[in-house]
Structure 1
Amino acid sequence: KFYGSGESFVFALDARAGADGRAEGGAAGEPEMRAYAWTSTNSFFMYSDSHLFAMGGGDGKHAFAVRSDLLRGLSSPTETFGNPTLASSEEFVVRDFEMWSLE
């Protein structure tokens, strides 16, 4: 079952540098942040079970989903946030993990 609210969003850090060695919109070596807010198309904000946790949804895909081992995940475009694949490929290996809760 999905839960959450329209205050949810997903983002990606794009570290690809241009010809001048800078990421678009940032100083040299600083990644550009791309944020994707709720599109109002559906309410598939967050999902979790004993196998994974995820954000976004539709057609059985998620903006991102991290498996229970916290080592591997998947990312796909979603209608929830209007996002592209957030990682360099649909399947990814988790390098670092950080979670925040704001109240």
Structure 2
Amino acid sequence: QVFGALASEPFKVSDGFYGTGETFMFTFSPDFEVFKWTGDNMFFIKGDMDSLAFGGGGGEFALWLDGDLYHGRSHSCKTFGNHTLSKREDFTIQDIEIWAFE
């Protein structure tokens, strides 16, 4: 199962959320689907040494990854209006790709 996020800014350690409405979530299961910013809030990206999260609202993240990039969680959220991206809310990461554009 393939899903993820396109971040509008480089990752950094942060106390609060950062990024812009150009950030979005996506999934390829079963078909390609994109979840763009709904305009409901500005909870795009949040990261520290323990986790990296995308989206928010209602106490849940669209995508949350632990600091070891081994465990993750996906839930619907107000930022992107997405459904759970993974088959199960909690999952173990098998492969990860991170790209940077300049």
Q: TM-score, normalised by structure 2?
A: 0.81
Aligned to 1:19: none
Larger Rg belongs to: 1
Q: Which residues in structure 2 correspond to 1:23-102 (within 5 Å)?
A: 32-102=31-101
Separation in 2, partners of 1:64, 1:101? 19
TM-superposed CA distance for 1:102, in Å, is 2.4
Aligned to 2:23: 8
Alignment RMSD, CA only? 1.0
What is the number of residues matched between the two proteins?
A: 87
**What amino acid does structure 2 have at the position aligned with 1:6?**
G
| Secondary structure in 1 matching 2:28 | strand
Contact 2:58 2:78 in 1 (8 A): no
TM-superposed CA distance for 1:75, in Å, is 0.4
**What amino acid does structure 1 have at the position aligned with 2:86?**
A
**% of aligned pairs identical?**
40
Q: TM-score, normalised by structure 1?
A: 0.80
Q: What runs of 5+ residues in structure 2 fail to find an aligned partner?
A: 1-15
Separation in 1, partners of 2:96, 2:46? 18
Aligned to 2:3: none
**What amino acid does structure 1 have at the position aligned with 2:23?**
S
Q: What runs of 5+ residues in structure 1 fail to find an aligned partner?
A: 16-31
| Secondary structure in 2 matching 1:14 | coil
Separation in 1, partners of 2:17, 2:64? 13
TM-superposed CA distance for 1:50, in Å, is 1.5
